[in-house]
Amino acid sequence: MKIAVFGATGGTGAHIVRQGLDAGHDVIAVVRDPARLGLPPSGRLTVLAAPVTDAEAILPAVEPADAIVSGLGPRPGDQAGICSTGTATIIQAMEKAGRARLVVISASGPYVDEGDGLLARYVAKPLLGRLLRDGFDDLRRMEQLVRASGLQWTIMRPPRLTNRASTGRYRTAVDRNTRGIRVSRADLATATLRVLDDPATAGHSIGVAN
């Protein structure tokens, strides 16, 4: 499979790139600064330096891809709302290129459902909602765009991300959160790659936690 990865130099995106290559996929890493990727282009890795807010600039990554993965997330100095703005551009490019499979990484924080424990539901998430209001609003807008796109989309909803090593052991839940408070970025990358060719996950959110 040929996979285009946006946010490829981010904490989770970098794992997706490396794990994708290790699994034998062809990967197109879309980055602002190729030096941050830490991997040279190779026979199965293409690096495209392009702003994610420019649909024409990212089209060379989207056109040949079988699936598109967005690991976009804010960094210091980024414009506000980069997740929703960037995702809107990705969707625009996918529509122009006639591509359908999109997996985006969101978060479980903005959403409360039956998968959450009592502490998360009534204490942790209301507090986080106040502290991270702008970021959570951005993710909600992003998800709304994805759901309205008409694409074959899947939304990954992890809780707090850690830099722990990959364990290969994690839980998932369809259309609800998992009763877990953290997941490693490496395990989230594994879960993300596994849904790419699983048609049963299209049109659903997937909660994932260690």
pLDDT digits (tens, 9 = 90+) for 176-206: 988 888 999 999 999 999 999 999 999 999 9
Domain boundaries in the chain? 2-108+138-209
Beta pairing class for 67-70 and 2-6: parallel
Q: Distance between CA 114 and CA 107 in Å, rounded?
A: 16
The residues with which 45 forms a beta bridge, in sequence order, are 27
pLDDT band at 129 (very low <50, low <70, confident <90, very high): low
Q: Distance between CA 3 and CA 68 in Å, rounded?
A: 6
Q: Distance between CA 185 and CA 166 in Å, rounded?
A: 8
Does pLDDT of 77 surpass 60? no
Does pLDDT of 116 surpass 80? no
Does pLDDT of 174 surpass 80? yes
CATH architecture for segment(s) 2-108+138-209: 3-Layer(aba) Sandwich (3.40)
What count of other Cβ atoms lies within 10 Å of the Cβ of residue 202?
15
